[in-house]
Structure 1
Amino acid sequence: MRVGEGVARGLLAVLVLLVLAGCSRLSFVRPDTSRGEYTRTAPEVQLRGDRKGALALQVALSEGQEALRAGDLDTAAKLARQALADNDGSPAAHTLAALVADRRGESRAAGAHYRRAVELAPTRAGMHNNYGTWLCGNGRERESLEWFETAAGVPGYGNAAGALANAGECAQRAGMQDEAARYLERALQRDPASPVALAAMAEREYRAGNHMRARAFVQRRLDAAPPEPATLLLASQIETALGDVRAAERYVRQLREEFPGSAPDSVMGKGD
């Protein structure tokens, strides 16, 4: 596993899907990070129409999310279709359909649903973040940046730091190093404990040969959120570069214990 690939997988942490239940709270779904999924969020959507139709949509979205969480993609796909049939104008229904398509490897369909969700909720920052995420994950890194910028610029958006961190990672992928640094610095100004931004900064400093700074960022990343395989791999490589073999081995052991099968046979010193 290359560090760049691993960090890209681990950076994009938590997917938020709106479930229209009760008072329309947001609930959280853990994405399959092995597919390199990004931080995504979905906004609240006002239910319109008769109560029976609204309830049907609510149930389809709630059960669809549960099926997605359980890995039952056939059921999730069926419920996404049902949600769209109940209300094709629901951004949340299109988001659910997009998530299912993403997990099934149907990238074009996922992108169409994410774009439709933006069109239906153009003032909702989360929808712009979602679509930017899809663009970046499908080789359109430069194009994704304006969508993350829009998301981050919406007043009161609770995940502005995540959108900026996503922009930093995507700019870095596109070879836009100066822009990436600016995005990541802005993300950390908004949220000094942003896992996405901290992991990306750790990788940047490691690749630049600034190993002490890389260590500081990766330690902050590990303090900010539960570890991911890419983070532990990077931490072991940073410690190897600093000559602390014991610390490097400790991270490798943690990687193998917490994520069996994630660690290559030899991970230390494999920075490229």
Structure 2
Amino acid sequence: MARYEAILTALLGAALLAGCSQLERLTIIRPSAHIRSTTQVAPTYDVSGRRGQRTDDAYQLMASATDYFQRGEYDQSERLLQQALHIPSAMADANTMLGMIADVRGQAVKAGKYYEAATVAAPNGPAYANNYGKWLCANGQPAESLAWFERALGNPAYTTPVASLSNAGECAQRSGQTDRAERYWRAALGMDPKALPALAGMAQLEFDRGNYLDARAFSERWLALAPSDPAGLRLAATTEQKLGDNAAASRYLSRLQALSPGAHPVPATQ
């Protein structure tokens, strides 16, 4: 596993999931150039001062904090991250990870303050803007979140714009801005035709508009990538019912029921 941020990326699925099932994960940017690179994640770092180890090494602090987080030792991780907050090159990442810990602990307000602090520490960091926008959307402020996604997307150096576009589409839809949601999702699909959140969003959007042929097309693309997605199977079945193809609807319903018999109430075919 290369560099501590690779592990962070894998762990971020644990953060900000409540209420935003179709939103992309948080993203974490690479450490500042001031933090040295390595090909191996650092072992747990002893900050007690024994054996001549330094406590101001941003990379080591963050690598060790990540290691503790991965093991569920949040108090230990938080202790190191609080030290990292005093190192300018680590402030944004440390705040982001403290936000993740607060989220895991169910401290949504506290998490939001950390995600916002990361944007202050790195005002030109698009990933931090995306993260804060995601938190706003997940915590009842979907309209306000859009400005943060736009900030992230406005940076030409942003390496994962599809994530922000997918997030923005979901949040625009939540705020009642359907046309804007469509623009974001179509832009995401223009960059990545396999952007699953955007496909799911467009399938539901076209269904809600009564454009069932278009809903079918997006649902088929969605299920080609995630054939066992219950939401996708349910929408595809309902779409086929609207189109009058009860045989196709039944096939989708059978697949849904096979996932976990009795766990997914399904509409009767017409």
Q: Same fold (TM over 0.5)?
A: yes
Partner of 2:65: 60
User: Residue 129 and residue 51 in structure 1: after superposition, are their counterparts in 2 closer, same or farther (change >3 A)?
Assistant: farther
Return closer, same or farther for 1:162/1:262 CA change in 2, 3 Å cut-off.
farther
How far apart, in 2, do the equivalents of 1:61 and 1:107 lie?
20
Matched, 1:181 2:167: no
Alpha carbons 1:240, 1:268 under 8 Å: kept: no
Deviations 1:21-55 (A, max 9, x none): 64754642334756425321010123659973332
Partner residue, 1:13:
none
User: After superposition, where does 1:10-49 map in structure 2 within 5 Å?
Assistant: 22=3, 24-25=5-6, 27-29=9-11, 30-31=13-14, 33=17, 35-37=19-21, 38-39=23-24, 40-46=26-32
| Residues 235/128 of structure 1: CA separation in 2 closer, same or farther (3 Å cut) | same
The answer to whether the 8 A contact 1:232-1:251 is kept is: yes
Unaligned runs of at least 5 residues, structure 2: 37-51
Please give the per-residue CA displacement for 1:178-201, whole angstroms capped at 9, x wherever unaligned.
222222222222222211111111
Q: 1:124 to 1:245 in 2, by over 3 A?
A: same
Assess, with a 3 A threshold, how the Cα gap between structure 1 residues 196 and 79 changes in structure 2: closer, same or farther: farther
Q: Secondary structure at the match of 1:28?
A: helix
Over 3 Å counting, the alpha-carbon distance change for 1:113 and 1:23 in structure 2 is closer
8 A contact 2:18–2:138 mirrored in 1: no
**Structural RMSD (CA):** 2.8
Of residues 83, 86, 101, the one that matches 1:86 is 83
Considering Cα pairs closer than 8 Å and 6+ residues apart, tell me whether 1 or 2 has the greater RCO.
1
Aligned with 1:197: secondary structure? helix
Which residue number corresponds to residue 244 of structure 2?
243
Residues 1:168 and 1:257: Cα distance change in structure 2 (over 3 Å): same
Q: How big is each residue's C-alpha offset from its partner over 1:107-159, in whole Å with a ceiling of 9 and x where there is no partner?
A: 10111111111112222211111111111111111111111111112213222
Amino acid at match of 1:163: S
Paired residues for 1:204-219 under 5 Å? 204-219=205-220
Alpha-carbon spacing, 1:257–1:153, altered in 2? closer, same or farther (3 Å)? farther
* Kept in 2: contact 1:255–1:262 (CA 8 A): no
Counterpart CA distance in 1 for 2:54 and 2:227 is 41
Change (3 A) 1:266 1:172: same
**Quick one: structure 1 residues 155 and 252, their matched pair in 2 at CA, closer, same or farther if it must change by over 3 Å?**
same
Whole-Å separation in 2 of the counterparts to 1:257 and 1:31: 27
Which residue matches 1:266? 266
Unaligned residue ranges in structure 1 (runs of 5+): 1-18
Q: What amino acid maps onto 1:250 in structure 2?
A: R
> Per the alignment, in what secondary structure is the counterpart of residue 90 of structure 1?
helix
Match of 1:117?
Answer: 118
SS in 1 for 2:10: strand
Distance in 1 separating the partners of 2:54 and 2:262: 47
Q: Give the superposition deviation at 1:106.
A: 1.7
Structure index of larger Rg: 2
Retained in 1: the 8 A contact 2:234–2:266? no
Tell me the distance in 1 between the aligned counterparts of 2:226 and 2:160.
16
Matches of 1:121 and 1:150, distance apart in 2:
12
Report sequence identity in percent. Answer: 35
Residue pair 2:228, 2:259 contacting (<8 A) in 1 also: no
TM-score, reference length from structure 1: 0.77
| CA distance in 1: counterparts of 2:225 and 2:31, whole angstroms | 30
The CA distance in 2 between the partners of 1:229 and 1:61, in whole Å, is: 33
Count the aligned residue pairs.
241
